[in-house]
Amino acid sequence: MLESLGMVPFQVYSCDIEPKDLKSLKFRRASELFGNLTADTLQLSLTNNKGQKIIDMMTVPPYSFFSSVTSGYFGIDGDNNHLVTLLDKDGNCVRKYGALENGYLIIRSDD
């Protein structure tokens, strides 16, 4: 359904990617759609390409969707990109995602 609206999934990265290595994926400041289709509460952290924290810790309840409201922070020094880090319960990286223009991130239990 989301792809029929012209939306695209975030790009998946390994945990060892550095924020400075994130390709330019967005042309302007924008909010994205986040979804948690698991039975667990997810913990996410958001940084920009320079490693600056946008949101230190964001919790996403089970079976929920929301749109980020942090677009005011994007575009610091011309940086429109952000890197989303999925964290485990101990705060360790599980996976990273690069936000794409008109993108979304849906995490499922089989991911």
pLDDT in tens, 65-107: 988 655 444 444 556 677 889 999 999 999 999 887 788 999 9
Q: State percent of the chain over pLDDT 90.
A: 33
Task: Return the residue matching tokens 């089970």.
Answer: 62
Question: Torsions phi, psi of 91, nearest 5?
Answer: 85, 10
Extents of the domains making up the chain: 3-108
Extended beta strands in 10-102, E state: 11-13, 33-37, 42-47, 53-60, 64-67, 83-87, 93-98
Strand 83-87 to 11-13 pairing:
unpaired
What is the residue-averaged pLDDT of the chain?
A: 81
What CATH architecture does domain 3-108 belong to?
Sandwich (2.60)
Of residues 4, 70, 80, the one with CA closest to residue 34: 70
Query: Which residues have C-beta within 8 Å of that of residue 51, sequence separation ≥ 6?
Result: 18, 19, 20
